[in-house]
C-alpha cells in the first residue's frame, strides 16, 4: 500500500513494456548490437534516430575493444608492473565505458525521455542487451 | 505516516546468485571450494622459503647476489599472478532479469510455433554466422540467456562465464575471458620459478659437495631434498601445462573448445575466432584490452522505491594478489545439463506485459510490470518474479 501511495505522489509514469535489443555476433565476439528497428518503437521513435543511437554505441564499443598499438602497449606495460598499475590507472576500456554512459545519458535527456522512453546502459545488463523501457503515454491518453 | 526504517546498505555482491564466495566487501571473488588453492599457496611459499633459507645465503656469497634478488622478483610475480587469477571475476555473465527472460521465452515460442502435445519442444539453439562459420548459441536454463559464443556455464560456480576456459581448483576460480592472461602468466612464471629453483638447487648441492661431500651437504641443508622433490614433480605438470596453453593461445582456442573438439577440423569446421596468424592470436589473448567486470559487485542495491537508474560503478578489479595455479588437476566439466523447459514459465510469460513483436496478444490490458525492477536481481526464478506482478 505504501508503495502505491508514494507512486501516485511522484506521478511517475507506469512502465508499459520493455524492448531488448540483442547482441549482433556476426562480426565475432566483439560487443555489437543489432540495428534492426523493433516494431514496438514505431509509434514513438524514428527509425533513423534509433539506428544512429545503436550505431554510435557500436562504434564506441569497437573503440574500447580495438586491438592495436595502444592496447598492446597498455597490456605490455601493465604486465611488466605485474598489473599493479591498474590500481592507480584506469584502463582504456573503462575510460570508453564512461564515455558511453555519458552518451546514453545525453541521448535519454534529449531524445528518449521526451518520447516516454528510457535507454538502459548495456553494462547494467552484462553487455547482453540494450534495454529500452517504454512508459505509458499519459498525455496522449492511450497506453501501448 | 511511514515508519522510519533503518536499512543497512546492501551491496550487490550479497545478492548475486551463483556459488561464489566474496571477500573484502565484494572486492574478491572466488569459488566455494578453496582447499586446493590453499595447498597451491602453501607449496609455492613453502618451497620458496626453503630456497631463501637454505640455498640463497650460500649462492649469494659463492656465486652472485643477483641470484636471490631475481628469485625474489620472480616469486613476487608468481604470487601476484596467482592472486590476480584467483581473486578476479573471470568474466561472469549476470543472469537475465525476469523481463528479459520472459522476452526471450516469447521469442523462442514464436520461433517454435505450435508443438503438438506430448512432443518435446525443439532444443533451444540460435545459429549465428561468424566468419563464414555457423556457430550454435545454446540457451542456458539456469541463467535464462542464450550464451554468447565461447561462453559456457560452470557447474561448480553455477555461472555462465564468457570465453570459458576451464574451472581450475588449484586457483580456486574459473578461468575465463578476464583472467586467462593472468592464469597463463602464472603458469609461465611458475614454470620459470620451478626451473630456476631446481637448477640452483642442483648447482648448490654440487658446489657444496665438492667442498664438504655429498652427505654432509644434505645434512646441512635438509630443505634441499624437499625442494628438489617438489620442483621435480611440479616441473612435469606445470611446464606441460604452460606448453599446452601456449599452443591454445597460438590458435586462439579455449581449453573447453579443445576438449570438445569444436574446431578440430571435422566437417571442414574451422575456428572462426582465430586470426590465422600466431603472433596476432597471441597479442589478442595476452595483450588485448582489459575487459571490465559486468557484475558490479560493489554497487549498492537499490531500495525498493528508488528510481530504476542506479549509477554505474565500474566494479573494482581484484587486488593483484599473486596467483599460482598448478593446473595438473583434472579439468572440471563445465557443461550444464539443461532441464526441460518448465511449462509454467511459458504460461506465466503470457501474462506479463512483455510484448511480442509478431502477434500482440489479442487480450485486453497487460498488467504493467513492477515499476522498479531491481537491477541486479537476486531472484533467478523467473516464475516467482513474474507471479509477483501486481495489477494497478
Query: For residue range A13-46, what is the model confidence (pLDDT) as tens digits?
Result: 788 889 999 999 988 889 999 999 998 888 888 8
Higher-confidence position of A78 and B351: A78
Instruction: Give the pLDDT score at B3.
Output: 64
Instruction: Give the pLDDT score at B150.
Output: 92
Could you tell me the three cell numbers for A10?
511522484
Instruction: Give the pLDDT score at B345.
Output: 41
A20, A26, A76 ranked by CB distance to B129: nearest: A26
For residue B118, count CB atoms less than 10 angstroms from its CB and return exposed for 0-12, middle for 13-18, buried for 19 or more: exposed
Integer angstrom CA distances of residue B105 from B51, B130, B352, B356, B381 = 59, 24, 11, 10, 14
Instruction: Give the pLDDT score at B313.
Output: 43
Scanning every residue of chain B, which has its alpha carbon at the shortest distance from the alpha carbon of A99? B312
**Alpha carbon distance B319, A87 (integer Å):** 8
A29, A39, A123 ranked by CB distance to B148: nearest: A29
Best of B163, B287, B372 to substitute, by most chain A Cβ atoms within 10 angstroms, is B287
Could you tell me the three cell numbers for B50?
626453503
CA angle at B255 for the pair B254 and B259, rounded to the nearest 5° = 120
Residues of B in contact with A43 (CB under 8 A): none
Query: Phi and psi at residue B235, in whole multiples of 5°?
Result: -50, -55
DSSP structure class, residue B158: T
Mean pLDDT taken over chain A = 85
For residue B242, count CB atoms less than 10 angstroms from its CB and return exposed for 0-12, middle for 13-18, buried for 19 or more: buried
Instruction: Give the pLDDT score at B354.
Output: 40
Instruction: Give the pLDDT score at B335.
Output: 46
Scanning every residue of chain A, which has its alpha carbon at the shortest distance from the alpha carbon of B12? A124
- Structural domain contains residue B352: no
Residues B93, B291: contact at Cβ < 8 Å?
A: no
3-state SS class at A99: helix
Residues of B in contact with A131 (CB under 8 A): 99-100
- Direct distance between the N- and C-terminal alpha carbons of chain A, in angstroms, rounded to an integer: 26
Nearest to B322 by CA among B190, B168, B169, B167: B190
Tell me: the pLDDT tens digits for B165-183? 999 999 999 999 999 999 9
- CB contact under 8 Å between B294 and A131, yes or no, is no
| Domain edges within chain A | 13-25+58-133
Sheet containing B133-140: give its strands across: B125-130, B133-140, B145-146
> Which residues of chain B have a pLDDT value below 70?
1-5, 7, 303-392
**Alpha carbon distance B254, B261 (integer Å):** 10
Instruction: Give the pLDDT score at A11.
Output: 61
Tell me: the pLDDT tens digits for B84-134? 999 999 999 999 999 999 998 888 888 877 777 777 778 788 888 888 888
Q: Which residues of B are catalytic?
A: 168
Q: What is this structure's pTM? A: 0.78
What are the counts of helices (DSSP H) followed by strands (DSSP E) for chain B?
A: 12, 11
What are the counts of helices (DSSP H) followed by strands (DSSP E) for chain A?
A: 4, 3
A25, A97, A144 ranked by CB distance to B149: nearest: A25
Helices (H), chain B: 35-50, 56-62, 66-87, 98-112, 180-212, 214-220, 223-234, 240-251, 255-260, 278-287, 343-351, 382-387
Instruction: Give the pLDDT score at A121.
Output: 94
Residues of A in contact with B135 (CB under 8 A): 25
* Count of domains observed in chain B: 1
Residues of A in contact with B312 (CB under 8 A): 97, 101, 121, 123-124
**Domain extent for B70:** 2-93+177-249+279-302
3-state SS class at A60: helix
Instruction: Give the pLDDT score at B373.
Output: 40
For chain B, say whether A131 makes contact (Cβ under 8 Å): yes
Scanning every residue of chain A, which has its alpha carbon at the shortest distance from the alpha carbon of B322? A82
Reported ipTM: the value is 0.85
Q: Output the DSSP codes for B188-251.
A: HHHHHHHHHHHHHHHHHHHHHHHHH-HHHHHHH-THHHHHHHHHHHHIIIIIHHHHHHHHHHHH
Identify any residues that bridge with A131 across adjacent strands, giving them in sequence order.
A20, A120
Residues of A in contact with B288 (CB under 8 A): 65, 67, 71, 75
Instruction: Give the pLDDT score at B387.
Output: 42
Residues B159, B32: contact at Cβ < 8 Å?
A: no
Indicate whether A130 pLDDT > 60: yes
Amino acid at each position: 500500500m505504501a508503495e502505491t501511495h508514494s507512486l501516485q505522489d511522484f506521478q511517475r509514469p507506469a512502465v508499459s513494456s520493455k524492448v531488448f535489443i540483442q547482441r549482433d555476433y556476426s562480426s565475432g565476439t566483439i560487443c555489437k548490437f543489432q540495428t534492426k528497428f523493433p516494431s514496438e518503437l514505431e509509434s514513438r521513435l524514428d527509425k533513423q534516430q534509433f539506428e544512429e543511437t545503436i550505431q554510435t554505441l557500436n562504434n564506441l564499443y569497437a573503440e574500447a575493444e580495438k586491438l592495436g598499438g595502444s592496447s598492446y602497449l597498455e597490456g605490455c606495460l601493465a604486465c611488466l608492473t605485474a598489473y599493479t598499475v591498474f590500481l592507480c590507472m584506469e584502463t582504456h576500456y573503462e575510460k570508453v565505458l564512461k564515455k558511453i554512459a555519458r552518451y546514453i545519458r545525453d541521448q535519454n535527456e534529449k531524445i528518449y525521455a521526451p518520447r516516454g522512453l528510457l535507454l538502459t546502459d548495456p553494462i547494467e545488463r552484462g553487455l547482453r542487451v540494450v534495454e529500452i523501457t517504454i512508459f505509458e503515454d499519459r498525455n496522449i491518453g492511450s497506453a501501448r | 505516516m511511514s515508519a522510519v526504517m533503518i536499512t543497512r546498505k546492501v551491496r550487490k555482491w550479497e545478492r548475486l546468485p551463483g556459488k561464489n564466495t566474496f571477500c573484502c566487501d565484494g572486492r574478491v571473488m572466488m569459488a566455494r571450494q578453496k582447499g586446493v588453492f590453499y595447498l597451491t599457496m602453501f607449496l609455492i611459499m613453502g618451497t620458496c622459503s626453503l630456497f631463501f633459507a637454505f640455498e640463497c645465503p650460500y649462492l649469494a656469497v659463492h656465486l652472485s647476489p643477483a641470484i636471490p634478488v631475481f628469485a625474489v622478483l620472480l616469486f613476487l610475480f608468481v604470487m601476484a599472478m596467482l592472486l590476480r587469477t584467483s581473486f578476479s571475476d573471470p568474466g561472469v555473465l549476470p543472469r537475465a532479469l525476469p523481463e528479459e527472460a520472459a522476452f526471450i521465452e516469447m521469442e523462442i515460442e514464436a520461433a517454435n510455433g505450435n508443438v503438438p502435445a506430448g512432443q518435446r519442444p525443439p532444443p533451444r539453439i540460435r545459429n549465428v554466422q561468424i566468419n563464414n562459420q555457423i556457430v550454435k548459441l545454446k540457451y542456458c536454463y539456469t541463467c535464462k540467456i542464450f550464451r554468447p559464443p565461447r561462453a559456457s556455464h560452470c557447474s561448480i560456480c553455477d555461472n555462465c562465464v564468457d570465453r570459458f576456459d576451464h574451472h581450475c581448483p588449484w586457483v580456486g576460480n574459473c578461468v575465463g575471458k578476464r583472467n586467462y592472461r593472468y592464469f597463463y602468466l602464472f603458469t609461465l612464471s611458475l614454470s620459470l620459478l620451478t626451473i630456476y629453483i631446481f637448477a640452483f638447487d642442483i648447482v648448490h648441492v654440487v658446489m657444496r659437495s665438492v667442498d664438504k661431500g655429498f652427505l654432509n651437504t644434505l645434512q646441512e641443508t635438509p630443505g634441499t631434498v624437499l625442494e628438489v622433490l617438489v620442483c621435480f614433480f611440479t616441473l612435469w605438470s606445470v611446464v606441460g601445462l604452460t606448453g599446452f596453453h601456449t599452443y591454445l593461445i597460438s590458435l586462439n582456442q579455449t581449453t573447453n573448445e579443445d576438449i570438445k573438439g569444436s574446431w578440430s577440423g571435422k566437417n571442414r569446421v574451422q575456428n572462426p575466432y582465430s586470426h590465422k596468424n600466431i603472433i596476432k592470436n597471441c597479442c589478442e589473448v595476452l595483450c588485448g584490452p582489459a575487459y571490465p567486470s559486468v557484475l558490479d559487485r560493489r554497487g549498492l542495491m537499490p531500495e525498493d522505491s528508488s528510481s530504476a537508474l542506479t549509477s554505474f560503478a565500474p566494479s573494482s578489479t581484484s587486488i593483484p594478489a599473486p596467483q599460482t595455479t598448478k593446473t595438473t588437476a583434472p579439468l572440471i566439466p563445465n557443461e550444464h545439463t539443461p532441464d526441460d523447459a518448465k511449462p509454467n514459465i511459458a504460461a506465466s510469460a503470457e501474462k506479463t506485459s512483455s510484448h511480442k513483436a509478431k502477434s500482440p496478444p489479442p487480450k485486453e490490458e497487460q498488467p504493467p510490470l513492477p515499476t522498479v525492477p531491481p537491477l541486479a536481481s537476486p531472484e533467478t526464478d523467473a516464475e516467482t518474479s513474474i507471479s509477483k506482478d501486481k495489477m494497478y
